[in-house]
A and B are shown apart, each in its own frame.
Chain A
């Protein structure tokens, strides 16, 4: 852990966003980021803004694909989470008072930083409280959590489910006290892989709603070269590209499906994924009235009057969800939710792309979110940080993964879900046109007889592009396809009731590499 939380003043984050950037501009921003390749970067450091897409691990993580440590692999990651306040903005122009976690002395952000660690790590999380109320951290799914060296325990006086940090003595947000009572150090062993929520354990109906939640990713030993046996110093400890300890998985296992013993039923590649396509979907909602009360210093709320109006993925509402990570127009909401893939192809060659994308879903809200990804069913491989293998202890475990077109994420639950899009129909203007095979009436309407979507490439085909009508802005870049993914409790896919907003993002499917239009595509990561 390199960041020193006491170094430098905490920066207030009361920045009201004064302008809105349209998705078009956001896509242009994405296009400006240079593609990043995985490599042996020196050591964990500040996350550069170049990771335009996908799950961003916090500085100090021991299992960050973009900043893998070198052997000897540190196994005692340490993070400082500073509870502080700030503002987020919503696409309808609203600005909402929030509480959240900054990493060390960093800026307020929503949601909290993503802590990426390896199975077996002893994790230290120091909570520093700058809020005017006591707060604490809960780590659901982790056992043996210690607070200041003792078992983390509920505290009745502060309505806490875990050992709390006292309110900031000055009752002034964003000031670090020196007395130490506003600090608690939690430690736990990340003893099994998966996706975990962390959240406030104090007055949780209020504090979690205010934004005090984040994600922990525990990556398995299986597949990490530095956890499989002794390696020479300086070896790059690339994190495992499996979600779980797949039986028989080995470090650097080829991602070719032919090597995964799938035909014989082996589970060595049960949960492999493409590390360049790992995504976080932390789902939440807020009632802005509660936040207005908190902003004016009232830290209690009649929860029977609770009515959610805004709905988020990673703290953003659509269309902000499809803007890149660290988009400038949402400075306190650093994590995008655009899923960006290419068609699955298992044939070695230019278009070879056998591995699925991985979406880690977390629900920090109070109700089920029935999340519906268009494009293809997703394969749920894990639930609440346990692999869907049945029975796990058996000599002949079977694959109990489930393919869903509705990923129902329960409150406090986490689901690890893999998916790929296969160009199954292979519609192509030359070899398989949509009006071929006697379907003469399946034609694309003339411009005056259709209403055009701005993300549309103007044709039915992947990797083709045609102009939209004069006056219609076209965000499409290279003939890619967009598929939405959203809560199907459709009032949750709105911004305060306005359709096509809220808990909604897009899955962007780029044409295969061999298509000429592919050269125009932003490759993301």
Chain B
């Protein structure tokens, strides 16, 4: 660490931290700043954050600028589809005001949307901050074309996450002048201004924009939603998942001890990751909003139960095409299917996120589950072992950190270690085949190693309340919280293309800052190809990405 010499802030040798000192003990905060840098082979640097017991080592203060991960979101209304075969619930579902979806099968249930929604769209690709004509484009093409669930957002601890929220107003309800916000649900030690509670800060009225900025420290699975008139706006669809990858590497779930060779339940390393954002849909409320009727929200019942904004069997349909960044699920991406596939693509255009999970024998799959419905759910995955490694964006395994953050920003952006770091706490991971969670909770499930199979094998993953699932029986529930895990033989899935890999390694996920302010690369080149920084192969280029069989 020769660059230390250039930094006068670390010109003194820090005293070793000692437990049990008295109140008046004079001890430099910086002396406790531990960099936790572990040099890896091939230029890879593993950065271990707050879930690792601090170790005394020389300190180096922030010198680099945090890489920016920026999203632009638009809040508006629109129309979506519950399953075409779902039982009718007159007059609420299908909504008779719903417009055509571009299909012409002759079957109205295939040819029209059927449910009114509010929500967010990812409009980053239109770069709306710079052009008045783009604003006009948004009003003409995104307003009244919302999606549910909200776009998946993610960044890495050490990055600078910025969200710009545009309020495009309601195409179907020009009488509404509702403001919107983004509440980053669970973001630890948030300030009120960036917390999105309209009463405690500010919200953005139609035609305006508001900027949010986060310096994420704690990796894990979170969610976001509008907090204006929350019982209505959240239920109407303004909710989605956001996750923070650890500094240690984007193929890990947490800054837990251990690298590529450690047990994945300890290190939290995974081969592929998928997001399941749960919610429910109360058709009476959606009908009321489209028909200018008031709703008593204490009547709430979640008749449709959704994963990533879709009800089974739509959950296992593929994502919409990719954003220009390479991430899947862009409603404006070209449709590539034909026949029945194209019918579904058009029907589900504004529910662009699949809930399908896939992997190969021997792999570890991380499933990030978040929930912004209003009811409890118990999800069962028979046949595959899973470990609950995280809960509410906190690592649960061996070496998990104490409650208090190890460090905070002070005097600008320099990081300071707290005076008395917490002791690590006990391992409370659980192994199970079922996970239950209620409103506002999250879990990180590590599934693996996936079993050896000789052909693609399907493992259903579903809400245990069977009364709300509907398969082929139209008299059962309205449409359920059910998806599938598809396990392929080793090597049975196509690998990311070279263009995908270059989008990934050259994109906003490429680097972050470690605790000492050094830039860390998340990907490494080896033998002409790219790997993760720890040398692990990249078998999935973007979170949730689904690949065809070989």
Contact = CB atoms under 8 A, between A and B. Distances in A.
Interface string B403-414: 111001111110
Interface in B150-188: 160, 162, 164, 179, 183, 185-186, 188
Range class of the B interface residue count: 35 or more
Given A258-B23, A264-B19, A499-B232, A482 B408 contact: no
Interface in B369-421: 372, 374-376, 391-394, 396, 402-405, 408-413, 418-421
A400 interface: yes
B231 A374 contact: no
B129 interface: yes
B420 A497 contact: no
A40 interface: no
A170 B191 CA distance: 57
A408 B441 contact: yes
Interface string A414-438: 0000101111111100011010111
Given A405-B393, A445-B202, A483-B200, A265 B423 contact: yes
Interface in B193-208: 193-195, 197-205, 208
Given A390-B426, A488-B439, A499 B229 contact: yes
Contact of A404 (B299, B392, B405): B392
Interface stretch (A6-14, A80-88, A456-464, A512-520): A456-464
Given A346-B419, A402-B428, A370 B441 contact: yes
A266 B394 CA distance: 21
A424 B438 contact: no
B405 A258 contact: no
A500 B279 CA distance: 20
A462 B194 CA distance: 12
B412 to A, nearest CB: 5
Q: Is the interface of A mostly helix, strand, loop or mixed?
A: loop
B201 to A, nearest CB: 5
Contact of A497 (B185, B186, B295, B428): B295
B421 A491 contact: no
Interface stretch (A135-143, A214-222, A375-383): A375-383
B425 A398 contact: yes
Interface in A303-318: 307-309
Interface stretch (B211-219, B358-366, B470-478): B211-219
A406 B441 contact: yes
Given A346-B418, A370-B440, A460-B191, A258 B200 contact: no
B454 to A, nearest CB: 41
B440 A372 contact: yes
A476 to B, nearest CB: 9
B234 interface: yes
Contact of A456 (B183, B194, B201, B423): B201
Nearest to A260: B420
B68 interface: yes
B66 interface: yes
Contact of A427 (B191, B195, B439): B191
Contacts of A496: 296, 298
Sort A-B residue pairs by CB-CB distance and give the 5 closest, nearest first.
A398-B426, A488-B440, A460-B193, A481-B192, A488-B439
7 contacts: A254-B23, A374-B195, A377-B392, A434-B213, A456-B201, A488-B439, A500-B230
Given A377-B394, A459-B193, A489-B375, 6 more contacts: A370-B441, A372-B439, A405-B185, A422-B408, A460-B194, A488-B438
Interface of B: 17, 19-25, 29, 65-66, 68, 129, 160, 162, 164, 179, 183, 185-186, 188-195, 197-205, 208-213, 215, 217, 229-232, 234-235, 295-300, 372, 374-376, 391-394, 396, 402-405, 408-413, 418-426, 428, 438-441
